[in-house]
A and B are shown apart, each in its own frame.
Chain A
Amino acid sequence: MLRAGLWLRRRAEDVLAALLGVMFAAFMIQIVFRYFFNLPTGWTTELTVVCWLWMVLWGAALVVKESEEIRIDLVTSMVGRRGRVVLAIGIALAIVVLYALSLPASYSYVSFMKVEKSSYLKIPMNWLYSIYLVFIVAVIVRYLWLLWELFRGKAPEEEDPTKKISAL
């Protein structure tokens, strides 16, 4: 179970790295075609934007850990272990409920977008936007898993400023 989870995590990381790799390559193609051959390429612009959207939602849903995300630990650093568990359960419940409530409407928005196609690659927009549903479902599942672990008595992870991902 643990090994399967680790394997899946690695593959999720591979996809994330690949999305950035494809975006980078598309930019190179775009620059070379536009400035060296004077041939503008609309499809590369579209591909890069799709990679960006997917990179953020895929990465946030499946790769970046809660303890690496930017969060404010003013309160959590002041309370004891028991307090941290209670707080962690509270916020996990809140996010699960709120995201679950938004899921049906999000689904109908995304599937409604099938009426539009992307400008250059002619991909139906509901496909491109489907990553949002993956994101919402993955976040719900992750926080349910976190709840399960908390109820079994596992302590929430300590905050470590060197592991924080901030782009500032």
Chain B
Amino acid sequence: MNVSDAFAITVLVIVALSLLGLPVGHAMIGGSVLYLLMKGLDPGTAAEQLLNGMYGSFLLLAIPLFILAAEFMNSGAIMDRLLRFCNALVGRFRGGMAHVNVLQSVIFSAMSGSALADAASSGKIMQSLMTRDGRYPAAFAAALTAASAVMGPVIPPSIPLVVYALVSDTSIGYLLIGGIIPGVLIGVAQMALIAMVAKRRNFPVEPPVPLRELPRLTMEAMPALLMPVILLACLYSGATTPTEAAAAAAMYSLLASVVIYRTMKGRDMYHSLLSSARVTASIGMLIAGAMVFNYVITAENIPKTLAATLKAWELSPFMFLLLANILLLILGCVLEGTTILLIFVPVLLPTAHALGIDPVHFGVMVVVNVMIGLCSPPYGLLLLMMVKVTGVRLKDLIREMMPFHASMIVALVLITYVPWLTLVLPRLMGYKG
């Protein structure tokens, strides 16, 4: 394929600046400015692309709202109640606390859209619960926390799905609903894996909680459990826009934490706002950089050229999906996922479209890939974070991670080649795809 020298230099500069440690968003803006200068175009185009792009993307407002909703719910007291509830349900099985870890991740996934936030908020407490008295190997516990956090952005709410909706122009409502079954599937695969190894590794059983306690424990967890219900009801019924659904969820979680759980004070509220806004600024910067760089990619006609090239290969949809998965998994080992979603996925989309692959199905599949990348060395942020939080050695963590990787790959293959899993719920709510 033909690209101009200016484009080749631009890509080289962006890659070099990022590899040398410049934040990726700045690298993309800086590189694009260089491209405009080399081409003799107006360098003010960078400002124009960024400002109009950000100002015109109402959809992206869901990102700060999702983060805020999870942040309001993020308190030790609420966590304790959820853990007691999970323990009453699955603690009685062999490997009980490991099952609790997966189940609480499913619940947290339904309240937050970020895997790293999930691992950060539950990582420490799950680690101490699982390794107390040497009941589980520390590396196993850390690997499990990282692996189960993967569900976070697959089950709605989801920040990467919002980013995908932006780059692919796909309905965010259908994407979020489409993530439910694949996300739960990942959790089921992990619980199956735990059940398989629990006996061999002689994992302990938690003292069973009498069933008559269950209603009380459920009532205690209920206000937190209602938050995802409200979000999904708003999304599913179509009564509000997806962004408003995110705002309603944030509003509810604020009310629940102030009125019902009484965990939120004025000061906490300020910290929730500030920390959510920081995360928003950081990811927003990446998106802004990609909006500028996207101008360059479009000016060079890259996605269309690539689609034509791939078309000449006469790939079947089966082969294309296989290659896309492999490419995304490899990229996931070395790049942060938002960058993959913003730069590489748009390049694949025209080909996927030409092959008749459903954009909602493709989006959920892409996000699962990116999430597996978070657990993959050398640049797996979840791994690096668990090393830091738990103090286990990276080598041990990676070894314990391997079976979980296998279970996630099995889930990924199912999600890739059985589109029904993703599409059945969106179709029920009227998706024509």
Q: Which residues of A contact B (CB under 8 A)?
A: 13, 16-21, 23-24, 27-28, 30-31, 35, 45, 48-50, 52-53, 55-60, 63-64, 66, 68-76, 87-88, 90-91, 94-95, 98-99, 101-102, 105-106, 108-110, 128-129, 132, 139, 156, 160-162, 164-168
Contact = CB atoms under 8 A, between A and B. Distances in A.
A82 to B, nearest CB: 14
Interface of B: 13, 17-26, 29-31, 33-34, 36-37, 42-48, 50-51, 54-55, 58, 60-61, 63-65, 67-68, 113-117, 120, 153, 159-160, 239-240, 243-244, 247-248, 250-251, 270, 273-274, 276-288, 334-339, 370-371, 374, 378-379, 381, 384-385, 387-389
5 closest residue pairs by CB, A with B: A59-B281, A56-B284, A161-B384, A105-B44, A69-B23
A165 B65 contact: no
A164 B23 CA distance: 11
Nearest to B15: A72
B171 to A, nearest CB: 19
A128 B54 CA distance: 12
Given A49-B58, A57-B281, A94-B17, 14 more contacts: A17-B273, A53-B55, A70-B339, A95-B22, A95-B30, A99-B33, A102-B47, A105-B44, A106-B46, A106-B47, A161-B381, A165-B278, A166-B116, A167-B338
A3 B239 CA distance: 50
Contacts of A13: 274
Given A21-B273, A98-B33, A161-B388, A59 B284 contact: yes
Interface of B is mostly: helix
Most A CB within 10 A of own CB, among B64, B276, B334, B384? B64
Nearest to B387: A161
Contacts of A110: 47, 51
Nearest to A118: B55
A167 B115 CA distance: 8
Contacts of B287: 56
B47 A55 contact: no
B286 to A, nearest CB: 6
A166 B61 contact: no
A59 B334 contact: no
Contacts of B61: 23, 48-49, 52
Contacts of A106: 43-44, 46-47
B240 A70 contact: no
Given A91-B21, A94-B30, A30 B244 contact: yes
B337 A162 contact: no
Nearest to B120: A162
A66 to B, nearest CB: 7
A45 B59 CA distance: 11
B283 A167 contact: yes
A87 to B, nearest CB: 5
A53 B51 contact: yes
Contacts of B244: 27, 30-31
A20 B47 contact: no
Given A162-B389, A166-B116, A168-B381, A66 B270 contact: no
A73 to B, nearest CB: 6
Contact of A16 (B65, B116, B281): B281
